[in-house]
Amino acid sequence: MNHIEHIIDGKRTSGAGTSVAAVYNPATGEQVADVVMGGKRDINTAIESAKAAFADWSTTPPAKRARVMFRLRDILEARADEVARTISAEHGKTHDDALGEVTRALEVVEYACGIPDKLKGSFSRDVGPGIDSCDERQPLGVVAGITPFNFPAMVPLWMIPMALACGNTFILKPSERDPSSANLVHDLFAEAGLPDGVLNVVHGGKDAVDALLDHPDVQAISFVGSTPVAEYIYSRGCTAGKRVQALGGAKNHMIILPDADIDQAADALMGAGFGSAGERCMAVSVAVPVGEETADKLIEKLAPQVRALKIGPSTDAEAEMGPVITREAQERIEGLIAAGESEGAEVVVDGRGYRLQGYENGFWVGGTLLDRVTPEMTVYKQEIFGPVLSVLRASSYDEAVGLINDHEYGNGTAIFTRDGDAARDVAAKIQVGMVGINVPIPVPVAYHSFGGWKRSIFGAHGIYGPEAVHFYTRLKTVTSRWPTGIRAGAEFTFPSMG
């Protein structure tokens, strides 16, 4: 059985911890590894390593830092299949879905390759008599990322390339549920020529998280996960004086107007609702057809497709959806389906009790379709994070928009329509961070930035793209005047450039 250790200063180590956590294959329910659970002492050791590495790495020219990213890009592309298999073995998502995760990670690495241009400052000559002014962006120091189980390679690679390209050193605290991908990401960076100590990986739970949040030498924290934890990390990290971006939960809606192509909308909902077993913060979990006729047509199209979902392990090339991450997740999802039923939702397709022959002990939940869901129901209020699609019928376009704007989450939404006026209107009025127009999962490309609104994010900056450059650097402005331009005598008035 595989034993997964920390990686500190380029070396694998069990550190000071004596406890381990079990890692399972979700398709079989069998333990496939254990991971050492570190705490404060291991975090402190990693911080010392990162601090020591910062002096040289931060003064490495951006073009040289970019060369590491160029090499990483080539390595990641060549070894994409291996990375995808590592993801699937512990997460359970299909191989093609895992390859898609790697592709989106590659995009951020490619964006980081252009860091010399993105770190260029500005210069103004003669802002005053003989006075010049320039500004530049400098790295923060040691920064950290706390990443979720659902994208064990992609989310770390949304953070690390930009943080390192900007000149920081990094400590990654990945999810203990599928930790092998994090160690593989470290090894790919090392293969690309990253010096020891610039990137460290420490596995653990809350003790490790709190140690990162409290340590004075950690300058910034980036987090992706649930809203309660995001709020905790933001509050504790800010109290400790850190820069924090904490991305939380979601309840993503898709509005389907009467003029929409129902076949197209149903296909989009299948992929967006059931891909990766719904374990995506950008999964569409609520369909909002406008009008009873639209809703009836949508249910008619969706129900047979949900029943026909091809569910299987990642080793099945024909599988469209795999298991959920843990037994606890399976039980929680099935409990929420039961709550929806008891509160009056119509269970059109029921995924509870799903069992796959030969994989009876796996963490399976079948595709579930709920109709006539209302805003008061638990299944609507809570993020389910599983293969459950709720249909909430709206009587008008305004009602559909109001539902979304009234929800506590504001991550993403989509509208399917042929009406350009409606599409433009929803893009302007909807209170969410990412909008798709006939695009079900509007995850921005790497040269834009990812981030929600309301209780889907805490902090001012989105993740990756231009926002990442601002998050991982701070601005310094230099105003200079040389002796030939200096007049004799003290100046006691507030300085001006007149």
Percentage of residues of the chain with pLDDT beyond 70: 98
Q: Are 166 and 119 in contact (CB under 8 A)?
A: yes
CA 452 from centroid of its chain's CA atoms: 11
* pTM score: 0.95
Per DSSP, the three-state class of 123 is strand
Whether the per-residue pLDDT at 486 is higher than 70: the answer is no
Query: In terms of C-beta density within 10 A (0-12 exposed, 13-18 middle, 19 or more buried), how is residue 438 classed?
Result: middle
Per-residue confidence (pLDDT) for residue 55, from 0 to 100: 97
Going by their DSSP bridges, the two strands 252-256 and 243-247 should be labelled as unpaired
Report the mean per-residue pLDDT for the chain: 96
pLDDT tens-digit profile of 470-482? 999 999 999 999 8
Whether the per-residue pLDDT at 273 is higher than 70: the answer is yes
pLDDT tens-digit profile of 121-147? 999 999 988 899 999 999 999 999 999
Whether the per-residue pLDDT at 492 is higher than 80: the answer is no
Per-residue confidence (pLDDT) for residue 277, from 0 to 100: 97
Catalytic positions:
281
Per-residue confidence (pLDDT) for residue 251, from 0 to 100: 96
Taking residues 226-231, report their average pLDDT. Answer: 97
Whether the per-residue pLDDT at 264 is higher than 70: the answer is yes
Per-residue confidence (pLDDT) for residue 488, from 0 to 100: 66
Per-residue confidence (pLDDT) for residue 130, from 0 to 100: 86
The 10 Å CB-count burial string (b at 16+, else e) for 448-478 is: ebbbbebbbbbbebbbbbebbbbbbbeeeee
Per-residue confidence (pLDDT) for residue 497, from 0 to 100: 60
Whether the per-residue pLDDT at 328 is higher than 90: the answer is yes
Whether the per-residue pLDDT at 495 is higher than 90: the answer is no
pLDDT tens-digit profile of 231-252? 999 999 999 999 999 999 999 9
pLDDT tens-digit profile of 289-319? 999 999 999 999 999 999 999 999 999 999 9
pLDDT band at 485 (very low <50, low <70, confident <90, very high): low
Whole-number Å distance between alpha carbons of 337 and 180: 32
Whole-number Å distance between alpha carbons of 391 and 379: 11
Going by their DSSP bridges, the two strands 368-371 and 346-349 should be labelled as antiparallel
Taking residues 415-431, report their average pLDDT. Answer: 97
Per-residue confidence (pLDDT) for residue 399, from 0 to 100: 98
Per-residue confidence (pLDDT) for residue 129, from 0 to 100: 87
Domains of the chain: 2-248+456-478 (3.40.605.10), 252-437 (3.40.309.10)
pLDDT tens-digit profile of 96-124? 999 999 999 999 999 999 999 999 999 99
